[in-house]
Amino acid sequence: MLKLLNLLKDGRFHSGEALGAALGVSRSAVWKQLQHLESELNLSIHKVRGRGYQLASPLVLLDNAAIAGYAEAAAWPTFIHESIDSTNAEGMRLAAAGQPAPFVVLAEQQTAGRGRRGRQWISPFAQNLYFSLVLRIDGGMRQLEGLSLVVGLAVMRTLQAFGVRNVGLKWPNDVLVDGHKVTGILLELIGDPADVCHVVLGIGINVNMQANAQVDQRWTSMRRELGAPVDRNHLVAVLSHHLEHELGRHRRYGFAAFQEEWEQAHLWQGRNVTLIAGATQVQGVVAGVDGQGGLRMCVDGVERVFSGGELSLRLSDDS
């Protein structure tokens, strides 16, 4: 199937006879593969008698050589999958099997992509970026403090580098454009965080997606904001560059070095919010973040700090 897709990805018409000859199969076998591309990958294919078959939109597939061509320095080892359950899950499997970190897992499609709090991450084929960076953490919990917030800053810098405007952050793990979600971040740990462990930094960016009825919240994509498709190989290289820079700062100085700039980028700074922790809800005003990345809120005139992986923040007037 991937061989057929590589023949069609230029967006031009190809006859069934030419496709069959290139693949070494019959025209009926080509037809079956085309049906599979449409049904399984949700790709739209034009079929015109006398001209052949054409993808409705050209595709640029993820490719290690292309990523390396855009990279300013040697790239992390990168594993690219056509389809996988979850890049985070594969990163955890590779780490458990002894793959040296750091390394990156990418996929054209996720069949069981995960967001925070057990939510599904919608992952259409070859439209968005599903990126997991696996790091080895030596030296305990300090290196994990505020880590997801640092990743958010790196993503924000990346989107700005491509010309996306009005990008900001929402505590703890979202990147928004004009209030619409463009990126989600999910961190998962393997091992003992007090000693030696691995952390998987999962990043999902809406890149070229223009419509998807499955998404149940306000969203946007880089293509929607820029008015043109984005080369995801270029995006991987620029994102890796910003991650490497910001993670290096974090290792040296801790999250306290990021506190002020993160607060400046936080879209809900000073806003009335509701913090949700399971069945508990706390209302207050966002005061900022502390030196460990916890959320500072003024609750009934008293400042309190909240941190934890299962917390969710909502604007108080957000229905």
Alpha carbon of residue 81 to chain centroid: 15
Alpha carbon of residue 152 to chain centroid: 10
Torsion over CA: 68, 152, 156, 165 (sign): positive
Q: How far apart are CA 127 and CA 266, in angstroms?
A: 27
Say how many residues make up the chain.
Answer: 319
252 is catalytic: no
Can you give the C-alpha Rg of the chain in angstroms?
A: 21
3-state secondary structure string across 13-71: CECHHHHHHHHCCCHHHHHHHHHHHHHHHCCCEEEECCCEEEECCCCCCCCHHHHHHHC
Q: How far apart are CA 22 and CA 187, in angstroms?
A: 43
314 is catalytic: yes
Q: How far apart are CA 126 and CA 71, in angstroms?
A: 20
Q: Select which of 157, 181, 224, 232 is catalytic.
A: 181
Annotated binding-site residues for biotin read: 86-88, 110, 114-116, 181
Torsion over CA: 207, 211, 214, 217 (sign): positive
Q: Select which of 116, 157, 170, 232 is catalytic.
A: 116
Q: Select which of 93, 271, 304, 314 is catalytic.
A: 314
Annotated binding-site residues read: 86-88, 110, 114-116, 181
296 is catalytic: no
Catalytic residue numbers, as ranges = 116, 181, 314
